[in-house]
Chain A
C-alpha cells in the first residue's frame, strides 16, 4: 500500500520530557485527517518533525516512500508538503497580494530571478484566483498589519496552497478566531482545499469542527497516539473521552 506520509516509531525527547512516543501513522493519498489532543499533547511537535523543523530523536518519516529525516523545511516543501501555522506566519509590512506572489514565486523555482519582476500577469492572476476562492480578494492591496486575524489565517493557508502541494498540514487553522467565526472559516478552508485535491491533515481543538470534515481522527495524548480511526469510534473511545475530549464536553455542558 502506498502511503503519502508514514511515520514509524517516531520519538522526540527534550531532555527528560517526551514530546513524542512511538508515533506510528500512515496516511493515504486524498485522506482528510483530523488531529486532536489537549495542549502539550504533541500535535505541533508532530507537525514540526514531519515538516523538518525539528529533528526526531529516533524513528523514520517517509513522504511518498522516501525518507525525509534530516531534510530541511525548504527541501520538504519543495518535495510537495506544505503547512500553515498556529500563529499565521506572514510578511507583515507587505501587501496581501505580495505575500501570495512571493509564495508563488518561491514555489516556482528554488532560485528566484534577479531581474525579472515579481509581479507579472500570470502570477497576479493566480494570486487573485486563490484570494477569490477564499473570499478575501477585497484585502488584496492592504498591508498584512491592517488585516484581521481570521483573514490572516486564510492568507497563511493560501500561501501554502498556492504552490500546489500534494499534502497540506494545517496547524490549528481556526485558532485565534472567535467561536462564531470558526465554523465559517473552516467551511471556507475545506471547500477550497477539496477543490485542489490535496491530502489534508489538520490540528483542531473543537470537536464539532473536526467531526464535520474528516474521515479519520488521530488522538494524541502526552506524545502518544491514543486512538486512530474513523471519527465516531475515536470519539467514543473511553480513554479518548477521559483524557482528551472529556474536558471539552464538561465545558460545553457548563455553557449550555
Chain B
C-alpha cells in the first residue's frame, strides 16, 4: 500500500515538473507550428544559470535564503528573455513559412550549438546547488517522507498552469493567440500582427523552459546532456496531450508522470519504454492526442 502512495506522490511531483517543461514546448508549437528541439537546451540553460548563481550565493554565505530563491527565478527570467529574444529575432524570424520538418532540423542545429555553448560557459563538470532544496525541509505524507521543495514545485506548476489557461481563455491577448493558433492566415487578414505574436510566444515558451530548469536545478545534478533527456520526455507529453493544448500538456504530464513513477518503482529499466508505451497507446486510439485538433487536408 505504501508503494502505491509512493507512486502517486512521486508521480504527481514528476508530473508537475514535466508540465512546466512541456508547457513552453506546446505553446510554441501551437502558435508557430515549430517543434523546438532546442527547448531542452533552454531548460538546461535555466538549470545551469540557477545552479551556478545560487551555488555561488550560498557557498559565499552572502545573504538570507529567500534571496537565493529570488535569484533563481530572476536568472531564469533573464536567461529566458535573453536567449529567447536572441534566437527569435536573430535566427528564426528569417525562417518562418518554411517546411515544418526543416524547422525541426533548424532547431536541431540550435540544440547542437547550444549544447556546446553551455559546455563553453559552464564547463563539463556537474553543478550541485542543493541549498534551496534542503532549506525547505521535509514533511510526512501518507507515511512517506516528502521534500517540501517538491511539493512547492507541484504548487508552482498548478499556479503557472492556471495562469496560462486564464491568460489564454480570458484575456484579449489570449484570444488573439488562440486565433493565431486556429488559423494564422485568417488572423493576419484580420489585422493581427502575427510577427509580434510570434516573438512574444517564443520568448514566453523560452522563459517557461528556463524557469522549469531553474526550479529543477536544486533537485538534480546539473550536467551536460540533461537537456536532451528531457526533450524526449517533453515530446511524449506534448504528443499525448495534443500539440498546442495547455490542458493536454497538463493531462499528458499527469499520465506520463504516474506511469513513469510506476515503472521506476516496479521495473526501472523500462522507464522510457513505459512512457512511450503509454504514448503509443494514446496515439493508437486518438492519433491527434487527447486534446489535439485534426487538420484534414482539403482537395
Q: Give chain A's interface residues, CB within 8 Å of chain B.
A: 48, 53, 85-87, 89
Contacts and interface: CB of A to CB of B under 8 A. Distances in A.
A72 to B, nearest CB: 14
A53 B298 CA distance: 10
B299 interface: yes
Interface of B: 299
A48 B299 CA distance: 9
What's the dominant secondary structure at chain B's contact region?
A: loop
B99 to A, nearest CB: 13
What's the dominant secondary structure at chain A's contact region?
A: loop
6 contacts: A48-B299, A53-B299, A85-B299, A86-B299, A87-B299, A89-B299
A28 B193 CA distance: 55
Contacts of B299: 48, 53, 85-87, 89
A214 to B, nearest CB: 24
Nearest to B299: A85
A87 B299 CA distance: 7
A89 B299 CA distance: 8
A153 to B, nearest CB: 14
Contacts of A87: 299
B293 to A, nearest CB: 14
Contacts of A89: 299
A48 B298 CA distance: 10
The 3 closest A-B pairs by CB, nearest first: A85-B299, A89-B299, A53-B299
A85 B299 CA distance: 7
A84 to B, nearest CB: 11
B180 to A, nearest CB: 23
Nearest to B297: A53
A212 B299 CA distance: 27
A53 B299 CA distance: 9
Nearest to A47: B299
A214 B116 CA distance: 69
Nearest to A73: B299
A126 to B, nearest CB: 26
Nearest to A53: B299
A89 B298 CA distance: 11
A17 B299 CA distance: 19
A89 B297 CA distance: 12
A162 B299 CA distance: 21
B298 to A, nearest CB: 9
Nearest to A86: B299
A190 B282 CA distance: 49
